[in-house]
A and B are shown apart, each in its own frame.
Chain A
Amino acid sequence: MRANVSAEARGLSRRELLKAGAAGFLLVSFRMPFAHAAGDTFAPNSFIRVGDDDIVTLIMPQVEMGQGIYTTVGMILADELDADFNKVVLQHAPPAKEYINPIFGVQATGGSTSVRAFWDPLRKAGASARAMLIEAAAQQLGVDASTCRTSNSEVIHDASGRKLGYGAIAALAATMKPVADPKLKSAKDYTLIGTPVKRKDTPDKTNGKSQYGIDAMPAGVKFAAIAQCPVFGGKTGHVDDSKAKTIKGVQQIVVQDDFVAVVGDTTWTALQGLDALDVTWDEGPNASVNSAQIWEALRTASTGNGAVAKEAGDIKAAFDGGTRHDAVYELPFLAHAPMEPLNCTVHYTKDACEVWTGTQVIGRVQEDVAKAVGLPIEKVTVHNLYIGGGFGRRLEQEMTVKAALIAMHVDGPVKVTWRREEDMQHDVYRPIYHNSVSASVKDGKIVGWTHRITGSAVIARWLPPAFKNGVDIDAVDGAADEPYGFPNLKVEYIRAEPPAVPTGFWRGVGPNNNFFTIESFVDEIAHKEKVDPVEFRLKHLDGNPRLQAAIQLVAAKGNWGAPLPARMGRGIAAQNAFGSFIATICEAEVDESGEVRVHRLVSAVDTGIQVNPDTIIAQLEGGLIFGLTAALFGEITIAKGRVEQSNFNDYRMLRINEAPKIEVHLIPSTQHPGGIGETGTTASAPALVNALFAATGVRLRRLPIDRDALAGRKPV
């Protein structure tokens, strides 16, 4: 049996919910996102509500976008609380300071921070509530609290054989003094943590009942489609709506400074109306920007002096007399392309504004919508529904502002949906990066290492206080703290914002670029030094035993060194980022035409304490595919100030017939849990290019992979 993800919006009472859960029905929807529902008798902190009906409602500070975090967060809380997980209901948190992500200082879900940031606060919240429930039960039973224990939502007094359910003592527990520094469980006492618990959100994702942002259907909702100026930074010029207005079902045309929208009785009529609009755009200063210029600007910027992110040892001495290696690696713009296109539903009245969407930054949505419509922040209600893929795109909130601006002109609620082309051409793109790396090798070991990263500073825009001394902490993540501990090291960062193109976080973030660079370059050096790439890495990792162990395990599981047919190769990549230590082997084949078939990916993963091991495996599987997709196909290009790609026909996704076999091996650990959602994405690209080198002898230093180079039709 699996219980539920909240209820009230569908009119189910708590009692019915429990009954349905107990009867094994699988139901899900969303309770209105305000914490104190009737019957939540015991509310000891921001995360836990215990009802006198025995339902434990756990408030989710992090959003569910596929990473299984609702269940993971629920498990951590429920384990310390000793709650019966079948009687647990999960509910999304409203925008409020109690739910701020301690790593960002913003109420945000991203960067594989959820478990890392909330592990301690959630455990304390659970343990504190449990201690108060024990106090209450002891008082009611007239026994000493130390003689009571808890299990499955009951306080048990073994000596007398008496038990009290959490619901029965919830009211009394609410009168107990909060326990500030509760005793946390030892790992041996975990009942949920470390077990493959089934996700609570998935049953309704298999029967059409789940509600994503795009599924919001407030009564009387109208439907809108949007078109933004195709050139970045351009404005709306002249709009002739005479033809659009003749389309049956088209209700309204909304013209704004840099976009237009058509409101209709269905999304389809809105789209028809949009196509019938004759819009002249004022394309502005970016109308002639193209990819070649953007790359030239980046490469020019890369020759300047960088801000120093890390400096250790004596670089000059290290490069004096050693064998010098130099290389340049580059990564392209990428779109997020989540399966759920951008959308937002807004009901604006002059006194209040209600928003339905799926967002990674609920507080920012509330704030920016309030500003846009000119209402005090407390008059804006945001319902955060499931996210049909975030990958960083929904760390932005500009789409909700646009929807709100449209809603101000519409009587009643309006759902604004971006068509796929609009979504893809008005993304915030993963920045292009340029990396110059040099290494000095003496006696078979890298003794000196310099890495200069040039690219957009997403942090400077998204989290300005974290952008200090010219260094983007995300752009150098994984580089400044490279895993090998090179004794003489210099890592620099040069901020170079691309003309016209807005940039943002993309799954795997900074470490994608840095581990592509580091792990490609280390591989190149190993081959040039004629040392096995696994052996070469291991001998630089004496100071990093967790990564060493991951490499050893993956080498064993991935048949490192076993013979392969011609034109097939194995490549390895290792990383520690997001608090996890991961090594990955890719097995790939290149045919005479340069076409690539990835046969197998094997990862060994030490992510510290594993809260939900199956979720960790799933995130690796998915992350590896996400990274592989980009490495094989992903590139957004610009011509005349516009994105050239538009939909899945010209921005390819890996499909099931192209997907490799994937094996993920978890390494047990008692260390603090690491992050996992981003990691697989970071791993696959360097493992792939290293495999392609092993298969062909061709070293690719740019992504996506160049099939002409692999086939020898052109030089690298």
Chain B
Amino acid sequence: MITLQINGQSRDVEAGPDTPLLWALRDVLGMTGTKFGCGIAQCGACTVHLDGEAVRSCQLSIGSVGNRPITTIEGVGSSEIGAKVQKAWLDLEVVQCGYCQSGQIMSAAALLAHKSNPSDDDIDAAMAGNICRCGTYVRIREAIKKAATA
């Protein structure tokens, strides 16, 4: 049994320590907002925050997390920045199929937490790890800028 701090709550996870956080969230805790996309940290669909940093949960074993706080898409809206990002996403109607957008929003919220007014290059650097197959990139960029000024 491993205890994780997820979205401000202690959660007991019945799984081996080498289990990636992605599968612990989805299959053990039923928190399906975090998505499986590639399993090799190439697509960013599984992005969560660990200690405020955007990380790929498919590569993070639950045994390595310890007490560090985890935020997922289900909890990101409780922070001011997360809520602003979600709102900008809706205001600009970024979402198409939406499958990658959990990860996009988590990456964007982490970016804005570190850089309140990101440049295009900052956006490229922070978001290039998140693939959107529907091709919503133009609106993602605009929405990050909108959230930054909201």
Contacts and interface: CB of A to CB of B under 8 A. Distances in A.
Contact of A202 (B23, B73, B90): B90
B43 A339 contact: yes
Nearest to A64: B97
Contact of B95 (A202, A621, A655, A661): A202
Given A268-B19, A389-B134, A339 B33 contact: no
B96 A647 contact: no
B58 to A, nearest CB: 10
From A198, A210, A268, A661, name the one whose CB has the most chain B CB atoms within 10 angstroms.
A268
A624 B86 contact: no
Interface string B13-30: 001100110011011101
Interface in B66-111: 72-74, 77, 86, 89-90, 93, 95-102, 105
Interface in A186-236: 196, 198-199, 201-203, 205-212, 214-215, 217, 223
A65 interface: yes
Given A207-B77, A207-B86, A199 B93 contact: yes
B135 A648 contact: no
Interface string A609-641: 000001000110111111001000000000000
B33 A207 contact: yes
A388 interface: yes
Nearest to B26: A267
Interface in A559-591: none
Contact of A339 (B16, B35, B39, B124): B35
A419 B90 CA distance: 31
A83 B124 CA distance: 43
B131 interface: yes
A8 interface: no
B55 interface: no
Interface string A250-293: 00000000000000011111010000000000000000000000
B92 to A, nearest CB: 9
Nearest to A662: B138
Given A199-B93, A420-B38, A621-B139, A656 B130 contact: yes
A341 B97 CA distance: 13
B32 A66 contact: no
Contacts of B135: 621-626, 629, 654, 659
B32 A339 contact: no
A329 interface: no
A625 B42 contact: no
Contacts of B90: 198, 202-203, 206
B146 interface: no
B50 interface: no
A647 to B, nearest CB: 5
A215 B138 CA distance: 27
A165 interface: no
B113 interface: no
Given A199-B93, A208-B72, A337 B133 contact: yes
A7 interface: no
Contact of A66 (B23, B38, B98, B125): B98
A684 B75 CA distance: 38
A338 interface: yes
Contact of A267 (B27, B97, B129): B27
B4 interface: no
A268 B98 contact: no
Contacts of A626: 133-135
A456 interface: no
Interface string A493-511: 0000000000000000000
Given A205-B95, A339-B43, A386-B98, A656 B140 contact: yes
From A199, A210, A249, A624, name the one whose CB has the most chain B CB atoms within 10 angstroms.
A210
Nearest to A388: B99
A28 B129 CA distance: 28
Nearest to B101: A205
A248 interface: yes
A340 B39 contact: no
A389 B130 contact: no
A712 B42 CA distance: 32
A622 B134 contact: yes
A387 interface: yes
Contacts of A212: 35, 99
Contact of B34 (A208, A267, A419, A662): A208
A126 interface: no
Given A199-B93, A206-B101, A388-B99, A217 B136 contact: no
From B19, B129, B140, B141, name the one whose CB has the most chain A CB atoms within 10 angstroms.
B19
Interface residues of A, number: 65
B98 A210 contact: yes
B132 interface: yes
B31 interface: yes
B121 to A, nearest CB: 9
A454 interface: no
Contact of B23 (A267, A387, A389, A623): A267
A513 to B, nearest CB: 20
A653 B98 contact: no
Contacts of B127: 655-657
Nearest to A420: B38
B150 interface: no
B27 A268 contact: yes
A388 B103 CA distance: 13
Nearest to B121: A657
A656 to B, nearest CB: 4
A417 interface: yes
A26 B105 CA distance: 17
Nearest to A340: B99
A291 to B, nearest CB: 24
Contact of B132 (A249, A267, A339, A623): A339
Contacts of A249: 15-16
Contacts of A661: 138
Contact of B97 (A215, A389, A417, A614): A389
A206 B42 contact: no
A1 to B, nearest CB: 12
B148 interface: no
B63 interface: no
A516 to B, nearest CB: 18
B1 interface: no
A305 interface: no
Contacts of A621: 135-136, 138-139
Given A211-B32, A624-B135, A339 B93 contact: no
B91 to A, nearest CB: 9
B38 A648 contact: yes
A266 B138 contact: no
Interface string A62-85: 000111100000000000000000
Interface of A: 65-68, 196, 198-199, 201-203, 205-212, 214-215, 217, 223, 248-249, 265-269, 271, 337-341, 386-391, 417, 419-420, 614, 618-619, 621-626, 629, 647-649, 653-657, 659, 661-662
19 contacts: A66-B95, A196-B93, A198-B93, A201-B98, A206-B95, A207-B33, A212-B35, A214-B36, A266-B15, A267-B26, A267-B36, A341-B37, A386-B98, A647-B40, A648-B40, A653-B43, A656-B123, A656-B124, A656-B137
Report the 9 A-B pairs with minimum CB-CB distance, sorted nearest first. A208-B33, A625-B135, A388-B99, A66-B97, A205-B98, A66-B96, A208-B73, A657-B124, A215-B32
